[in-house]
Amino acid sequence: MSGERHWQRQPVKQISMALVLLLLNVVAGVMARVERVNAGLPPERIAPSRPAAPVTPALPQTPEQQASDAKLAEGLSYIQQNQLDQAIAAFQQAITLSPRSAPAYYNLGLALRQQGQLQPSATAFYQAIQADPNLAMAYANLGAALLEGGNSSQAEDYLQRAVELDPNMSLGHYNLGLVKRQQGDVAAAITEFRKAMNLSTTAAEPAYHLGLLYLQQGKSREAAESLQKAVAVNPSYAEAHYSLGTIWYEQGRLDDALNAFRRAAEANPNYPNAYYGAGLVFLRQGKPTDAQQVLQYAQTLFTAQQNNQWANSSAMLLQQAQRSSQAPQ
């Protein structure tokens, strides 16, 4: 089947800038990448640590706390409507009415983090801990915010406390795994990701990151198994499909690799790695015309995302594909 039929995507002028910015910023200061040097493939995109569900208040004990809880409920309603500014204002009013309301501080932290305000969100989670030293989810989210802010040492302390308070918290073990991976402690990271997987059957991220660590160790079979678990939980996990494609590509399983790259592109049409990988497959399959199409799109996307290194690599491969298509058959 023709490459055009399966790889035609929307014009570049329609690219979502939110996706572009996410692709550019989501990995900053979080952890080292696994470079796919041998395959000549760009590195996978690292997903950020996951926030937790909101905390609801206990029964009110005073008129002030009752009013505070009403504002907290109002804020949670705004969250469900994706009205973050209004939610933040409501949570702040709840805190004014009840300065020791751990749920209000906690949910304020979640809303601020959702807006990308890492330092204010970390402050809110810390205040939640001061109000309730046993609120495990506040420790976990404070650790996650510190991790995203590049402070892995402090993040580890709070995440360790989170899993001490609640050993069955998948989120805490997952974020601890991210810390250990950033610190280069692969064995400890693998242990934490395995714990997170065992504690939650609905989160794909632990399996994905476990797969990346196995790739780092050169354990392709174990990596593929973990990545397949990730896409089984979340079939729209573009990075997991892409990483599977790199394994199949290195093993010479070109049809499987192409299918994995195609599924990555279907999950995220603005994910340039998927098109780049498909271009490599088409070149090895002797299909330079198909390769040109996807490599041109990869180059355009990488350029739009200011990733000059891989934009240049795409341009070089595109020239190779053009020469191959012009060569006598």
Q: For the chain, give me the number of helices (H) and strands (E)?
A: 17, 0
Query: What's the rounded mean pLDDT across residues 322-329?
Result: 78
Query: What's the rounded mean pLDDT across residues 2-22?
Result: 29
Lowest model confidence (mean pLDDT) among 63-72, 93-102, 165-174, 294-303: 63-72
Residue 250 clears pLDDT 80, i.e. is over it? yes
SS3 36: strand
- Extract the tokens encoding 204: 């794909």
Query: What's the rounded mean pLDDT across residues 123-134?
Result: 97
Strands of 259-310, DSSP E = none
Residue 49 clears pLDDT 70, i.e. is over it? no
- Extract the tokens encoding 237: 């996990």
Residue 97 clears pLDDT 60, i.e. is over it? yes
pLDDT at 62: 84
pLDDT at 22: 26
Fold of 1-50+236-329: 1.25.40
Cβ burial, residue 202 (10 Å; 0-12/13-18/19+): exposed
Query: What's the rounded mean pLDDT across residues 42-67?
Result: 62
Residue 329 clears pLDDT 70, i.e. is over it? no
pLDDT at 38: 30
- Extract the tokens encoding 223: 């990596």
Query: What's the rounded mean pLDDT across residues 275-286?
Result: 97
CA 130/CA 126 separation, integer angstroms: 6
What is the chain's mean pLDDT, rounded?
85
pLDDT band at 53 (very low <50, low <70, confident <90, very high): low
SS3 3: helix
CB atoms inside a 10 Å sphere around CB 278: 30
Q: In DSSP terms, which residues pair with 36 in a beta bridge?
A: 41
Percent of the chain past pLDDT 90, that is, above it, reads 77
Query: What's the rounded mean pLDDT across residues 99-114?
Result: 95
**Are 243 and 216 a contacting pair, CB within 8 Å?**
no
Rg for the chain, CA atoms, rounded = 23
Residue 36 clears pLDDT 90, i.e. is over it? no
